[in-house]
Structure 1
Amino acid sequence: MEPYLLRYFLAVVETGSFTKAAAACLITQPSLSAGIKRLEEQLGVTLFERNNKRVFLTSAGARFLPRAKTILHECNLAMAEVAASAQARVLRLGVLQTLPSAWVSNLLKGFAATGADVRFDLFDGTEQELQNRFDERGIDYALSIRRVEDGASVPLYDEGYVLAVADTHPLAGKASVRGEYLADQPMIVRSRCEVLSETSRYFTDRNVRPPLAYRTANDERALSMVAAGIGATVMPESFAAQGVAKVGLEGFMHRRTIALFTPRYSLPGHLTEAGKAFEGYVKVPLPEGEGSA
């Protein structure tokens, strides 16, 4: 059984879509479909049920899922041991897709300036995708959202969500706005937003259905379209861009805590010092404004 077939399988589970899984694996959809079919033939079972909108695990697929994670976990351990033998100072860092690029860039650039003898392999993903990589030991650290207080994560900053509008928009000078006033406001949907359902419910509860102007998984693209006057969007207040103003959204009280998630296992000896140095560095807040675009 080839490990890449297991990665295809887990990618479909993570994304719920053959198309999205193929994009995540950097292959074509026919190649991924052929790989899943080959895996099903090797196992002698059907792993997925498909409809027009989503893919679901069969009972056999659900039983196979923890085994697949375990197998890839062992593969990643083997590769880590090989890397350790070569004394490669590489920390694998998962980065939540909805974090501002400028903040992540400044964080890593600042750490590099300390002279630490380490490089990073970066992986973008949703909360669930980063969680799965941790389960498979595919990453050492992650910058993601802290849902519960525990010893496995270090809180870095807390923030709410705001309405982003063009700085030429009539609302740009206001401190806050009621959702009811946005009935005719074209909106841009950030499809990877962790509070997407809550945002939709916020408007639905107020009997407001703003027109959809654009939908994208790329937050920087969303901001550029806001600056161009295409529409407004709800996003974390740490995002900033030229030509974009931020307005409070009355009654939208959701917040998020961004944290560094630390290894759940002992790093190879040659990475222990580098890992401690990285953890120590990120616990120090960035200077005011360093997270802005």
Structure 2
Amino acid sequence: MPRLTGAAVLRRFGPLLGLVVLCGVFGGLSEPFRTGENAVNVLRQSAVNALLALGQMVVILTAGIDVSVGSILGLCCVLAALLLKAGVPAVLSILAALAAGAALGAVNGVLLTKLRLPHPFIPTLGMMNVARGLALVMAGGLPISDLPVRFRVWGAGTVAGLPVPVIVVGLCYVLGHVFLTRTTPGRDLYAIGGNARAALLCGVPVDSRLILAYGFSGLTAGIAAVVLAGRMNSGFPLAGSGAELDSIAAVILGGGSFFGGVGTAAGTLAGALIMAVLRNGLNLLNVSAYWQTVMIGVAIVVTVWIDMLRQKAANR
């Protein structure tokens, strides 16, 4: 069994270590932070970003990026709400939102691969505007509120004391981990991120795998939309604005790399929790929301800088 280098150990366990240290710091500074109620609250607050980050991680794994996830989330929120208000059963409304998210994500992949666009930022930026515009048109620019109780459970319900969104996140991450580590398509994504040309020469169907990755990102945005709409009790057309940046931040803080080929479901979940813990702890310490944004931004820049140094060292 090959020995892990110090850099490999840091990449694998660094996000978890950072999360533990952060919890220790805030736990020492704020007594309310140490309560079980606050822990559950942090998990609940992290749910939407964690779901978006899971799909974003799969895309970044291929050395891509998806800036449309926030807008796709907003569109899926509106779609589910409209169907529910029209009397469509909750299960069918949820399935429609998930299907729409996956389809829009797959369109990103098709545009990237079939039009041979130079960078994934281009099609996903276009989709960001298209999806947001459609959400505003469909909702008439207004939130669609008073959704059925059976639907609201997905965002505000509990099972055995655990919030339903936390359970949804847990299931999605387990399935995501299995997909990436136990299936051929999942392992292919690592190969594409490492060297797409070499993967193609080895017989990996690069185009179809990229479409799968972006479709998966859209699917997780659809799941996040169901959770968020249930929590807000409305389909808000501007829901998810700026969420794409938070999802990217969670992936990078969780050990992912813009260079591709690196990232895990566990690390990404840790990254999403780091962001939630940071915001929660700073709130309890009465730190301004503006300064919270500054601190998270600095953390991301430092993380990316370290990743660049690591990449340069590996290429020597």
* Structure with more relative contact order (C-alpha pairs < 8 Å, separation 6 or more): 2
Q: Which structure carries more helix by proportion? A: 2
Question: Quick check: which has more Rg, 1 or 2?
Answer: 1
TM-score bracket relative to the smaller structure: under 0.3
Q: TM-score, normalised by structure 2?
A: 0.22
Q: Which structure carries more strand by proportion? A: 1
